[in-house]
Amino acid sequence: MTDINPDHDAIKQPLRLTGACYCRHLTYLLKLEDSKDAKTTLCHCANCKRAFGGAFGLTTKVPIQAFRYDAGSGKPTIHAADNGMGSTIYREFCSKCGSHICEYGEQAKYIFRSVMFGSLDEPSALPPKGEWFCSQREDWMPVIPGKLAQFRKQ
């Protein structure tokens, strides 16, 4: 007889999610071997506020091999800029409707993609795990409650 591992945390939960820009010129597939490989976070920094046009940035970080544009998708336009701290940040967006699809810093260029949470067709599958730059949180913006926020930085 073989032992059955009762530790559910050790069981991988594969997850396939689709996403698109507002006009669906860009469409993509997120294929995770384990849903735990995805990390959704809020960021309250000034750069995210400006890039997202909102009170915070909200992205889901995944290993680069988990993210790919569909074969029939259009090509994203890539904007590179200083992230405000001397390193480059890249944002991929739709040149037709302007929606962001993903972003990544110079260091993570070949390792991770931070996918824009709202571009996912079913974002509820990946709730936030933490928050960055909490010192720049808007006064009226509540803290992410309870165990959802496993960490809060800066």
- Contact call for residues 144 and 131 (beta carbons, < 8 A): yes
Q: In the bound complex, what is the minimum distance in angstroms from residue 3's beta carbon to Zn ion?
A: 45
Q: In the bound complex, what is the minimum distance in angstroms from residue 25's beta carbon to Zn ion?
A: 4
Nearer to Zn ion, 150 or 154 (CB): 154
Q: In the bound complex, what is the minimum distance in angstroms from residue 102's beta carbon to Zn ion?
A: 13
Q: In the bound complex, what is the minimum distance in angstroms from residue 65's beta carbon to Zn ion?
A: 24
Q: Identify the residue among 12, 13, 16, 23 touching Zn ion (CB under 5 A).
A: 23
150 contacts: CB under 8 Å, gap ≥ 6 = 129, 130
- Contact call for residues 56 and 48 (beta carbons, < 8 A): yes
**Residue span 46-85 as binding mask against Zn ion, x where in contact by CB under 5 A, dash where not:** --x--------x----------------------------
Q: Which stretch binds Zn ion (CB under 5 A): 33-41, 93-101, 102-110, 115-123?
A: 93-101
Sheet holding 151-152, edge to edge: 77-82, 88-93, 100-105, 112-116, 57-63, 39-43, 128-132, 151-152
Q: Identify the residue among 42, 94, 134, 144 touching Zn ion (CB under 5 A).
A: 94
b/e burial code for range 88-118 (CB count within 10 A of at least 16 → b): ebbbbbbeeeebbbbbbeeeeeeebbbbbbe
Residues in contact with Zn ion by CB under 5 A are: 21, 23, 25, 43, 45, 48, 57, 94, 96-97
